[in-house]
């Protein structure tokens, strides 16, 4: 039977200040993606609703982490709301909507209502469906949200006018043949490393055994995005060098290949990169996607089976405050022999 597509609401994750809330997702179908709808409002005066007070991530700053957990213990996705915003921008090719009232210095208790996509199928692939999440044989599937508080939206906020909620909707298919349709899984998670000094050989090691399509990267200094930290990116295993590129190439080539710019506000300075968020702590210049797959066939992903090591070596310049590299691997858990010739 041909696969049928269904879109529907799954659940609502209620707010718990600085707490974790978990909700079950339905099983028995193949998930293509989730739509996450965040609503709420922080209590803050109009004068304090200034861009300098808006925390990194705008309203999504209150979502400290989103975990998708299969079989009670297998974490498939683990990333914060702000990183998911930028992942949507780089991987889906357009900027999610921002809440224009945040940081406008004229709106008190500015309400927000915005949507992000959490993709289970792998964007920019020839056959993204090969990486959809098959929930038919799982014993459990949960979404767990780690909430922050009102100051994670605006540092001058004093309460929540309207407690946030995260409504979860799904794009799913059913009717697939469990014998003929075999799915890989792709996952991402956050690796946070402090940079204590400028270093031309700042190494970050990764687990071996799976495949790596690429890396999503962010660099911060003193809690704000900083585009002057990364100078060069190198990807190696032993003496084999898979990539050795300066920061400008990674930044601009991926924007040219994947992004349809959606520029907010006045075009000033470097107009192409003048993507506005509500917070001055958030900058496109500090976010990068290194994608090793250039033709959409994930056979180009780096298979680390049998590797003794796999790492990135970064040339970085330390900032004036506490400086971090935040790395999100795009990791494929492969089925090396499959019925449908996964690509």
Percent of the chain with pLDDT over 70: 90
Separation of first and last alpha carbons in the chain:
22
Residue-range domain boundaries for the chain: 4-185, 189-333
pLDDT at 255: 81
Task: Give 111's strand partners.
Answer: 41
The whole-number average pLDDT for the span 177-197 is 84
- Exposed (0-12), middle (13-18) or buried (19+): which is 212, by Cβ within 10 Å? buried
Residue with tokens 């792709």: 186
The answer, yes or no, to whether residue 191 has pLDDT greater than 90, is yes
For the chain, the average pLDDT equals 90
Domain 189-333 in the same topology as domain 4-185: yes
Is-contact 214 289, C-beta < 8 A? yes
Task: Encode pLDDT of 5-34 as tens digits.
Answer: 999 999 999 999 999 999 999 999 999 999
- Taking residues 310-328, what's their average pLDDT? 98
**In the predicted model, what is the mean pLDDT of residues 290-305?**
94
Residues with Cβ within 8 Å of 86's Cβ and at least 6 positions away in sequence, in order, are: 216, 218, 287
Percent of the chain with pLDDT over 90: 76
Which helix (H) or strand (E) segment holds residue 224: the answer is strand 224-225
Among the four given CATH numbers 1.10.340.70, 2.40.30.10, 2.60.120.730, 2.60.40.10, the one describing domain 189-333: 2.60.120.730
Q: pTM to 2 decimals?
A: 0.92
**Contact present, 29 and 197 (Cβ < 8 Å):** no
Residues found in the chain: 343
Confidence of residue 95 (pLDDT cuts 50, 70, 90): confident
List pLDDT tens digits, range 219-229: 999 999 999 99
| Domain topology for 4-185 | Jelly Rolls (2.60.120)
Work out whether the CA dihedral 283, 286, 290, 294 comes out positive or negative. Answer: positive
- Residue 267, pLDDT above cutoff 70: no
């Amino acid at each position: 039977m041909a696969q049928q597509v269904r879109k529907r609401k799954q659940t609502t994750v209620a707010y718990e200040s600085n707490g974790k809330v978990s909700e079950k997702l339905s099983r028995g179908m193949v998930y293509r993606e989730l739509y996450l709808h965040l609503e709420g409002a922080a209590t803050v005066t109009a004068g304090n609703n200034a861009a300098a007070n808006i925390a990194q991530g705008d309203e999504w700053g209150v979502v400290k982490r989103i975990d998708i957990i299969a079989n009670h213990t297998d974490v498939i996705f683990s990333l914060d709301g702000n990183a998911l915003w930028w992942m949507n921008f780089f991987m889906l090719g357009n900027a999610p909507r921002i809440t224009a009232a945040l940081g406008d210095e004229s709106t008190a208790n500015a309400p927000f209502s915005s949507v992000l996509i959490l993709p289970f199928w792998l964007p920019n692939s020839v056959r993204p469906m090969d990486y959809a999440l098959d929930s038919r044989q799982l014993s459990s599937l949960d979404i767990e949200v780690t909430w922050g508080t009102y100051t994670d939206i605006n540092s001058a906020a004093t309460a929540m006018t309207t407690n946030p909620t995260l409504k979860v909707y799904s794009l799913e298919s059913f009717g697939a043949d469990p014998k003929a349709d075999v799915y890989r899984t792709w996952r991402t998670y956050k690796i946070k490393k402090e940079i204590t000094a400028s270093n031309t050989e700042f190494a970050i090691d990764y687990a071996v055994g799976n495949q790596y399509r690429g890396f999503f990267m962010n660099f911060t200094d003193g809690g704000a995005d900083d585009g002057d930290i990364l100078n060069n990116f190198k990807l190696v295993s032993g003496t084999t060098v898979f990539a050795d590129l300066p920061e400008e190439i990674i930044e601009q080539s991926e924007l040219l290949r994947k992004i349809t710019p959606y520029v907010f506000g006045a075009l000033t300075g470097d107009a192409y990169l003048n993507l506005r968020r509500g917070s001055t702590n958030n900058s496109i210049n500090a976010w990068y996607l290194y994608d090793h797959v250039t033709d959409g066939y994930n056979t180009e992903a780096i298979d680390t089976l049998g590797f003794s090591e796999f790492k990135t070596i970064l040339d970085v310049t330390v900032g004036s405050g506490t400086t971090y590299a935040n790395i999100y691997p795009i990791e494929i858990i492969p089925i090396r022999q499959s019925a449908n010739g996964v690509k």
